[in-house]
């Protein structure tokens, strides 16, 4: 006899039951003698509370409507009660009566709990759910009234076949088992499935369901590579390549390849690949994503370069999104200019050997009807560094006419 039974209001309940008579009772069971079964609620001692006797198979009228469906001559006292109400919730003891032997099992009882709504069915998975490998899903629902067991139905995101059966549990209670077999794909990952149990209760039905999200293992899918910026880049500019993929378990390794001729050459690892474009970096790139179930290859992306190489050189960075630059070899980094005091040196100017020189200023004077003579003076600073005088033709001294 089970320790507990849950049942729906208005339904029936079957109590699995068997008995034996211990040797200490000094009575030998005789199957030819009529044996009757008695059910007592709350307490085995019914002497002071005769109303606790709710069923006696020797009586035609009982407080609880029911019958013993087991064969008492074979020590099977399985009993069914009908039209259960919430007042049936209690603890129950079993008693046998065989003339002249009578005995109640005071150590063993069953708790009956009556509910208005059924309990949810239970979904289990047989083994790992892996893409491409057939798998079975099991849904079970208790059947406290085997005469009217629940009907189980499935809602799945794919085609499937089912098999339903009424089975006996280790405690001799009954349940309905529905098994679904299908072959999952990565498209089924994180999709919901539902098992619904419909219990017939009188002229109506009571329903309970169990929802579960599928967890499908699969190799990387939808692997793609992207490049930013996508337009052709000047040599020396920074370009970021990014790999994306869907996998379960997640991707553990990303690898980048450059296609050189007909042969791919590994150039980096990591989700991102950032580089400062050089003349040899142009061409096709792709990435590969890998997990414990396999790998996936991305589309090819074109890295197009244009223009001459810029003055600054750089390092390629296989990981990260920031390109790292370094100064050209032999070139000192430019430092902020410092304020320095300088001395001015004076020298004599000798104009005796002056030779006219056509300059932009002279040409302008000629246009205005003026003629001037100019001497070029080159000024050299004393400091170690002197900013160049850009866009000047020199310094000139104007001589009066």
Q: What is the pLDDT of residues 154-178, one digit of tens each?
A: 998 887 888 889 999 999 999 999 9
Backbone φ and ψ for 162, nearest 5 degrees, come out as -120, 160
Q: What pLDDT sits at residue 31?
A: 85
Tokens of 139: 């849904």
Overall CATH class of domain 4-115: mainly beta
Could you tell me if 252 and 296 are in contact, meaning their C-beta atoms sit under 8 angstroms apart?
no
Q: Which residues contact 385 (CB under 8 A, 6 or more apart)?
A: none
Q: What pLDDT sits at residue 376?
A: 43
Tokens of 228: 């930013």
Q: How many residues does the chain have?
A: 401
Q: Average per-residue pLDDT in the chain?
A: 80
Long-range own/partner contacts, residues 53-62 (CB < 8 A, 24 or more apart): 54/92, 55/79, 55/81, 58/97
Backbone φ and ψ for 63, nearest 5 degrees, come out as -65, -40
**Topology of 122-213 in CATH?**
Immunoglobulin-like (2.60.40)
Q: What pLDDT sits at residue 158?
A: 81
The predicted model scores a pTM of: 0.66
Rounded distance between C-alpha atoms, residue 4 and residue 54, angstroms? 18
Max intra-chain CA distance, the chain? 160
Phi/psi region, residue 361 (left: phi>0; alpha: psi -120 to 50; beta: rest), is alpha
For 318, other C-beta atoms within 10 Å of its C-beta total: 13
**Residue numbers in the chain where pLDDT is lower than 70:** 25, 232-233, 306-401
Q: What pLDDT sits at residue 232?
A: 67
Task: Give residue 145's Cα distance to chain centre.
Answer: 40
Rounded distance between C-alpha atoms, residue 251 and residue 245, angstroms? 8
Tally helices (H) and strands (E) across the chain.
Answer: 1, 30
Q: What pLDDT sits at residue 25?
A: 67
Q: What pLDDT sits at residue 308?
A: 55
- DSSP at 333: P
Q: What pLDDT sits at residue 233?
A: 66
- Would you call the peptide bond into 249 cis, given omega within 30 degrees of 0 as the criterion? yes
CATH 2.60.40.10: which residues of the chain?
A: 4-115, 122-213, 222-326
Measured between alpha carbons, how far is residue 24 from residues 21, 29, 103, 181, 230 in Å? 8, 13, 12, 53, 93
Residue 280, classed as helix, strand or coil, is coil
Rounded distance between C-alpha atoms, residue 23 and residue 220, angstroms? 69
Q: What pLDDT sits at residue 304?
A: 81
Q: What pLDDT sits at residue 188?
A: 94
Q: Edge-to-edge strands of the sheet including 66-68?
A: 13-15, 79-81, 66-68
Q: What is the CATH number of domain 222-326?
A: 2.60.40.10
Beta strands of 23-173 (E only): which ranges? 36-41, 53-56, 66-68, 79-81, 90-98, 101-104, 110-115, 122-126, 135-142, 151-155, 161-168
Could you tell me if 6 and 142 are in contact, meaning their C-beta atoms sit under 8 angstroms apart?
yes
Give the residue carrying structure tokens 């000024």. Answer: 379
């Amino acid at each position: 006899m089970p320790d507990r039974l849950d049942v729906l209001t208005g339904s029936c309940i079957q109590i699995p039951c068997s008995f034996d008579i211990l040797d200490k009772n000094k009575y030998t069971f005789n199957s030819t003698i009529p044996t009757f079964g008695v059910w007592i609620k709350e307490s085995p001692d019914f002497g002071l509370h005769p109303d606790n006797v709710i069923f006696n198979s020797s009586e035609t009228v009982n407080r609880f409507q029911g019958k013993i469906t087991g064969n008492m001559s074979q020590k099977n006292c399985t009993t069914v009660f009908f039209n259960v109400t919430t007042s049936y919730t209690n603890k129950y003891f079993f008693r046998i009566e065989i003339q002249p032997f009578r005995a109640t099992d005071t150590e063993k009882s069953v708790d009956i709990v009556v509910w208005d709504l059924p309990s949810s069915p239970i979904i289990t998975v047989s083994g790992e759910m892996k893409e491409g490998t057939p798998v079975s899903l099991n849904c079970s629902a208790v059947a406290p009234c085997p005469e009217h067991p629940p009907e189980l139905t499935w809602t799945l995101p794919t085609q499937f076949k089912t098999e339903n059966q009424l089975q006996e549990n280790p405690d001799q209670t009954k349940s309905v088992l529905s098994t679904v077999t299908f072959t999952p794909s990565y498209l089924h990952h994180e999709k919901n499935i539902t098992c619904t149990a419909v219990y017939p209760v009188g002229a109506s039905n009571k329903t309970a369901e169990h929802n579960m999200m599928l967890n499908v293992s699969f190799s990387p899918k939808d692997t793609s590579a992207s490049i930013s910026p996508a337009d052709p880049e000047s040599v020396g500019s920074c370009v970021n390549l990014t790999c994306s993929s869907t996998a379960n378990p997640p991707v553990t390794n990303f690898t980048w390849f450059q296609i050189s001729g007909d042969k791919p050459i590994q150039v980096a690892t990591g989700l991102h690949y950032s580089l400062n474009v050089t003349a040899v970096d142009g061409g096709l790139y792709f990435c590969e994503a890998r997990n414990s179930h396999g790998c996936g290859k991305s589309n090819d992306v074109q890295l197009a370069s244009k223009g001459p190489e810029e003055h600054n050189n750089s390092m390629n960075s296989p990981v990260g999104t920031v390109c790292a630059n370094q100064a050209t070899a032999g070139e000192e980094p430019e430092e902020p200019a410092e304020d320095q005091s300088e001395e001015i040196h004076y020298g004599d100017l000798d104009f005796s050997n002056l030779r006219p020189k056509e300059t932009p200023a002279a040409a302008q004077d000629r246009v205005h009807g003026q003629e001037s003579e100019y001497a070029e003076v080159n000024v050299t600073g004393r400091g170690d560094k002197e900013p160049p005088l850009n866009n000047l033709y020199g310094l000139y001294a104007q001589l009066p006419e």
